[in-house]
Structure 1
Amino acid sequence: MRVAAGRGPALGSLRGQLLRWLLLPLFVLVGFDAVSVYRDALDAADMAYDRSLLASTRALAERVSVAGGKVVADVPYVALDSFETDTLGRLYYKVTGVNGEFVSGYGDLPPLPKNTVRSDAYPALVYFYYADYRGEEVRIAALYQPVYDDSMRGIALIQVGESREARRDLSRKILLDTLWRQAVLVLAAALLAWFAVRFVLRPLMRLKHQVEQRAPTDLDDFDPSLVHKEVQPLVVAMNGYMSRLQALIAGQRRFIADASHQLRTPLTVLKTQAELALRENDPQALRDIVEGIARTTDATVHLANRLLTLARAGHGAAAGELSYMSLVDVVRQAGLELAQQAVQKGIDLSLEGADEARVRGNALLLHEMVANLLDNAIRYTPPGGRVTLRVLNEAQAVLEVEDSGPGIAAAEREKVFAPFYRAALAQSINAEGTGLGLAIVRDIAAMHGASVRLLDGPNGKGLKVEVRFPALA
């Protein structure tokens, strides 16, 4: 399979790309959302556990009092048992007197760090901090509790620590619940996106089936309303391309029909002449017939070359071989090649105009265009006449081929560009013409973005062909 030049990497499935562009950002957003929800849940859990820890600390602080000039903690046995093993985790406590003396609890419970900031979430003088105790991390609430009686006044420090097992269990549960819900959400979104993409692409699939079921000769337009508004320009472009393709095929069929018709006559003449030569015994007559065969062969070769050039120009051949070149050099080369033909007829052939004029085009086709114009001018200019090649370098390069021949009537100037059409006066002057020269000129000019005009020669006599090229940037 032949592909266009400059083809990029394969794009893959449109459905796959749409799903990736829909789902990948969704996965990223869900990930961020899961992390955010998890952190918020942890903060909420920490706040709830801190409230419970503070409540335990306050309950213990209510049991602290002063008796006999000493701070005492009246903690019942049941309370001590609950501190040892709580349903939510292990609890530890410590009561410190007004002078820093140990009163009750776990004497090795880590002290309150000096730089700990008091919690503003509660009106009590409470501090929360983490510490390592007995090989595990604990969360400790430190509460300053005023104590007094008639013999003394001061502030006792009550500390209650809680292992983080319960918090970790709750964190894992929150994380798993969050991920599970997010996974269900992503799965549901993926299924909805898949069905949505499939539904949205259904018109394109219908268009695909229509294209596949089309016969090779069916170049009718597709209905743009069958697809979405965003895809309609593509369908319109396809229709435009098929219209151009249809015009190209029609032109090729017409060219083949015209070429076969034009070639049939000289080939028939050649066959007839060859049969006459086979039956002829007179050497002089046989020589005349062979000379006729040579002339017919020359005319047929000339016609075939013109047909090939016309097909090459009309097909946009070598469009990728365009380059910048001197129009003067192209014209001079064509003039040198046909100068002998002009000398044989006694025609004054000259080149005038600018010394330099640059155009962008295909050198071979431009040479063929100039040669066709010059050949026509020499053929239809009577002996002793004049043919002038002129190159002008104005805002754009201009080629003029001017002759002193009979010219072309104004009514026929547009018709002579049609392949095989010949003006009546041209047929009377040159019966062996092909009617392809100006058709070739126009096709080559159109390929180069140039325009062709047929004008009267000087003083209204003869013909001037003007080819005006587009200006270069």
Structure 2
Amino acid sequence: MKVRRSPDTVGSLRGQFLRWLLIPLLLLVALNAFSVYRNALDAADLAYDRSLLASARALSERVSIVDGKLVANVPYVALDSFETDTLGRLYYKVTGVNGEFISGYEDLPTLPKDVPRSEIYPALVHFFHAEYQGQAVRIAALHQPVYDDRMRGIALIEVGETMDARRGLSRTILVDTLLRQAALILAVALMVWVAVRFVLHPLMQLKANVETREPTDLSDFDPALVHKEIRPLIIAMNGYMARLQTLISGQKRFIADASHQLRTPLTVLKTQAELALRENDTEAMRMIVQSIAATTDSAVHLANRLLTLARTGHGAAEGVMAPLSLRDMARQVCTELALPAVRKQLDLSLEAEQDVTVTGHELLLREMLSNLLDNAIRYTPQQGQIVVRVYVKAGANGVGEAVLEVEDSGPGIAAAEQERVFAPFYRAGAAVETNPGGAGLGLSIVSDIVLLHNGHIKLSNVVAEQCLRVVISFPLD
């Protein structure tokens, strides 16, 4: 079952291009922005940590042993620079070799035991985060060896810095990164919009071409005017219009044929009816009514053949195919037409030793065989013979073919007329003599159905100008 989509289901091609390109791009940009931000923060932390280490080393140079005691000689100018900085606030603390407080801020957090030594710098330094005076701080803890003749050990020098400077730098980095990425996305969106508009220009030209065409113009569109990826669609459209042209041509032919061919019997009927109205003789009126009945039968036969011709044309458009048993179909049609054959004392036989399966339209194939048998019964004289054969033969290219053959002992068709009898309303000379009331559509219908099934039809006379044989071959699956 085909699912019908509303016009809004598919949406805009330009919009889909933008969504399919920009949404993944946004995700990639977000990942890239996060990566750039993290790398920038790492670089900033590295720079600030180097500054903390430099401050700790500067303090370590002022730590010395005086009279057997460890002292930190930090001038007031240095203390001011440590306590107040334009980018934040600095704190320091010096701890002696025995863990005693020497100088600085005594309550500054001490180095935890689980903090690893930094491998980046050639120094015994540890970096860690802590909380001090209600603020987050980053602390560098430097182990500084001290010694003289009376003392030997390692002092701990800690320098802490508030996170204001780092946070300000991180915000600057983040805003700058986001602005750059946003500008990149806008530039890409603009380029995609322009590119899609440019790429769709051939389709817009094709749209204008379609809109300005006349309703009766079913000529092909030039596939070279569009992109390579769109050409299969244009080729499919051209194929569809060709099939539509065939269907319309068939309908036009049917309307023209029907109007032309039905006009004669209807005119005859009208004339006969007017004669009957003016006739007072009962016997003469009876003969006129019999003529009216015969003319009506001829008109009905003609109308049925015209409808069959129209149905054959529609069969090509409907495209309903199914595997069919050619032998079973021949047996059924022979059974249906057995009564007319018996009335003429005809010997109707079926020769089909093996079953043959073909793919086709069941109604059309039955109509094809019915037309062939009906013609054979009409044109075969009393006590004649009709043989229907079904078999398989090897084709010219080595592929097997299914063959349906109808042979009768009628007058046959002259060799010069065997190609012309497939044209609508053309009747061979022998057929006109045998059956003047024929429509001339039987073999035309048969030919159309055979062509619809990719088959071939051939006419021949078994003997000189006698006994017509119709051979139809279909490709096997």
Q: Does 1:430 align with 2:432?
A: no
For 1:316, what is the secondary structure of its paired residue? helix
- For 1:231 and 1:154, the matched residues in 2 are separated by 83
Q: Is the 8 A contact 2:413 2:466 kept in 1?
A: no
1:270 counterpart letter in structure 2: L
Q: Greater CA deviation, 242-251 or 214-223?
A: 242-251
Alignment partner, residue 315 of structure 1: 314
SS at match of 1:382: coil
Question: Match of 1:48?
Answer: 47
CA apart distance, 1:28: 1.9
Q: Are the aligned partners of 2:357 and 2:476 in contact in 1 as well (CA < 8 Å)?
A: no
Q: Which has the larger displacement, 169-178 or 442-451?
A: 442-451
The reply to whether residue 453 of structure 1 matches residue 452 of structure 2 is no
Residue equivalent to 2:397:
none
Residue 460 of structure 1, CA deviation: 8.5
Larger mean CA deviation between 171-180 and 103-112 belongs to: 103-112
Query: Partner of 1:183 in structure 2?
Result: 182
SS of corresponding position for 1:457: strand
Structure 1 match to 2:100? 101
Find the aligned partners of 1:458 and 1:79 in 2 and give their Cα distance: 132
1:463 lines up with 2:468 in the alignment: yes
For 2:406, which of 401, 414, 419 is the aligned residue? 401
For 1:195 and 1:275, the matched residues in 2 are separated by 78
Partners of 1:388 and 1:463 in 2: how far apart? 11
- Structure 2 residues not aligned, in runs of 5+: 394-399
1:149: Cα distance to partner? 2.8
CA distance in 1, matches of 2:226, 2:317: 37
Distance 1:222 1:391, change over 3 A: closer
Deviations 1:235-292 (A, max 9, x none): 3443343344334323332332222211111111111111111111110010000000
Q: 3-state DSSP class of the match of 2:188?
A: helix
Cα distance change of structure 1 residues 384 and 278 upon mapping to structure 2, 3 Å threshold: same
Which stretch of structure 1 is more off in the superposition, 156-165 or 449-458? 449-458
Partner of 1:162: 161
Superposition map of 1:357-368 within 5 A: 357-368=356-367
> 2:419 corresponds to which letter in structure 1?
E
Q: SS in structure 2 opposite 1:217?
A: coil
Q: Do the aligned partners of residues 460 and 286 (structure 1) sit closer, same or farther apart at CA in structure 2, a change above 3 Å counting?
A: closer
Give the alignment of 1:57-456 within 5 angstroms: 57-316=56-315, 319=318, 321-354=320-353, 356-392=355-391, 395-456=400-461
8 Å CA contact retained: 1:66, 1:148: yes
Deviation at 1:321, TM superposition (A): 4.4
Alpha-carbon distance in structure 2 between the residues aligned to 1:107 and 1:335 = 119
Give the Cα–Cα distance (whole angstroms) in 1 for the partners of residues 318 and 202 of structure 2. 37
Secondary structure in 1 matching 2:229: coil
Taking the aligned partners of 2:334 and 2:239, their CA distance within structure 1 comes to 41
Kindly state the Cα deviation for residue 461 of structure 1 after the two structures are TM-superposed: 4.7
The alignment covers a number of residue pairs equal to: 469
How far apart are residue 312 of structure 1 and its match?
0.4
CA apart distance, 1:80:
2.6
Q: Secondary structure at the match of 1:114?
A: coil
| 2:247 and 2:317 in contact (8 A); partners too | no
Tell me, yes or no, if the aligned pair for 1:455 and 1:464 is still in contact at 8 Å: yes
Residue range with higher mean Cα deviation, 362-371 or 69-78: 362-371
Deviation sequence 1:329-351 (CA, Å, 0-9, x none): 32222212211211121110111
Moved more, 5-14 or 401-410: 5-14
The separation in 1 between residues aligned to 2:228 and 2:356, in whole angstroms, is: 48
TM-score (norm 1): 0.92
Which residue type is aligned with residue 54 of structure 1?
L
Identity of aligned residues (%): 67
Mark the runs of 5 or more structure 1 residues left unpaired by the alignment. Answer: none
Contact map agreement 1:354 1:393 (CA 8 A) in 2: no
CA distance in 2, matches of 1:438, 1:346: 24
Deviation at 1:318, TM superposition (A): 8.2
| Worse-superposed segment, 230-239 or 23-32 | 230-239
Question: What is the DSSP-based 3-state SS (H/G/I as helix, E as strand, rest coil) of the residue aligned with 1:387?
Answer: strand
Which residue identity is paired with 1:284? E
User: Compared with structure 1, are the counterparts of its residues 14 and 428 closer, same or farther at alpha carbon in structure 2 (3 Å cutoff)?
Assistant: same
RMSD: 2.3
